[in-house]
Amino acid sequence: MNLLPGEYNVTFQALGNGSILLDSDLTDVFHLIINDPNQSVKLATPFGIVLIETHLEWAAIGNAQNYLVYIEGAASSPFMTIGPTIEMLDKGLTPGKTYNVRIQAIGNGTTYLDSDQSGIFTFNCPSNVKLATPFGIVKTDFGFNWGAQPTATGFYVYVEGVVGSPFNVPAGQYTFNVINLNLPIGTYEIKIQAKGNGGTLLDSDLSSILTFDIVEVIEEVNLAIGALATSNSGDASAPQAIDNNMSSRWESAHGNDDVQITINLGEVKMINTVVLKWEGAYAKQYKLQVSNDNINFTDVYVETNSNGDTDHITLENINAQYVRMQGIERALVYGYSLLEFQIYYVI
């Protein structure tokens, strides 16, 4: 089949045998573009626009770099989105008002030109929408993870009988560390709620009851004591992070996020707990990594929003000789400042 350059609507049909097996129904329409290699091609106009809860989705356009979404009457229109979807309730729209929406696929400016704008899609901005109840909740060794909800402005975590509950989890973070609350031994009931914006987005219902057990922790010898500590910044002070002295500290140079401190245990040992005791200049985001050769490191824990003080991190049982804190983002303008880097195998 030699088709000329152009746009085609294509459907498929399975053929029967003309007797007991009948031909199938036609499939949905697929959009096919045949390009002329010697000419620029205008991208197909976006189609198949649907509203799913509070976001629009449409068919992906081949070779589109991104999309522009024109919302008539919205102050910051058009809005750019990489994929064929856009959330509508965070665009500053007026609750209860109707908006005309058009979508355009954006090309690369050379071989693929921008498409025409789609036909008008009418969006009725709701007055109030309740966020979905947190879903996909999974218990971990340290607490809970749950599914992403980009429109939530944060989350509340209710821990029954604990002072300070509910605890705030910032937007974009879908994890909560119960261990870091330093609770007494016992079983705790926990519920999670997605937080709205106080206007068009209402708080979700509470999740079903979750339980988390705080058990007795028997910490053996701190394996980091007597080990070797090195760093790619502030190396001279690195040993002070494993000297079992809260009056001394390792401090990295100011102004650099990409900093490591590595503890060499001297030989491969079983570990499952790391305790980081921060001074005021802590790591807001960091990774814990392990290695047996100090060359190939594996991520075993990622912290995306530490609040400093003490991070008590429970891991699976791991055999490792080298344990590394890899900084990602500093909480303050200074460097990283770590009072103690403790490593245990907890029975």
Q: What is the DSSP letter of 294?
A: S
Distance CA 85, CA 46 (A): 11
pLDDT value of residue 201: 82
How many C-beta neighbours within 10 Å does residue 257 have? 15
Q: Are the C-beta atoms of 85 and 50 separated by less than 8 Å?
A: no
Residue 96: pLDDT band by 50, 70, 90 thresholds?
confident
pLDDT at 10: 87
Helices (H) and strands (E) in the chain, counts: 0, 27
CATH class of the structural domain 228-344 = mainly beta
Instruction: State yes or no: pLDDT of 219 exceeds 60.
Output: no
CATH number of the 36-124 domain = 2.60.40.10
Give the contacts of 52 (CB within 8 A, at least 6 positions apart): none
Q: How far is CA 174 from CA 134, 145, 307, 316, in A?
A: 9, 6, 15, 20
Between 211 and 52, the more confident residue is: 211
- What pLDDT is recorded for position 18? 82
**What pLDDT score was predicted for residue 34?**
74
Q: What are phi and psi of 51, to 5 degrees?
A: -100, 120
Please choose, from the candidates 280, 293, 278, the residue with its C-alpha nearest in 3D space to the C-alpha of residue 325.
278
- Cα dihedral 55, 66, 120, 92, rounded to 10, equals 50
Residue type, 246: M
On the question of pLDDT at 95 being above 90, the answer is no
Q: Quote the CA–CA distance of 180 and 190 in Å, as a whole number.
A: 15
**DSSP tag of 239:** G
Alpha-carbon distance 291 to 319, whole Å?
Answer: 9
Residue 309 clears pLDDT 80, i.e. is over it: yes
Residue with tokens 């980081």: 276
**Of 218, 322, 175, 184, the residue nearest 262 (C-alpha):** 322
Pairing of strands 298-303, 260-278: unpaired
pLDDT in tens, 103-147: 999 999 888 999 999 999 999 988 888 888 999 999 988 899 999
What is the rounded average pLDDT for all residues in the chain?
91
Query: What's at 51, amino acid-wise?
Result: L
What separation in angstroms does the CA of 249 have from each of 240, 243, 279? Answer: 5, 9, 8
DSSP 8-state assignment for residue 219? B
Q: What are the sequence ranges of the domains in the chain?
A: 36-124, 130-214, 228-344
C-alpha of 162 from chain center: 27
The span from the CA of 233 to the CA of 231, in Å, is: 5
The domain made up of 130-214 has a fold known as Immunoglobulin-like (2.60.40)
User: DSSP letters of 70-90?
Assistant: EETT-TT-SEEESSSEEESTT
Q: What is the pLDDT of residue 217?
A: 58
pLDDT bucket at 197, cuts 50 / 70 / 90? confident
Cβ distance 288 to 320 under 8 Å? no
What gap in Å lies between CA 40 and CA 2, rounded to an integer?
20
Asked whether the domain spanning 130-214 has the same topology as the one spanning 36-124, the reply is yes
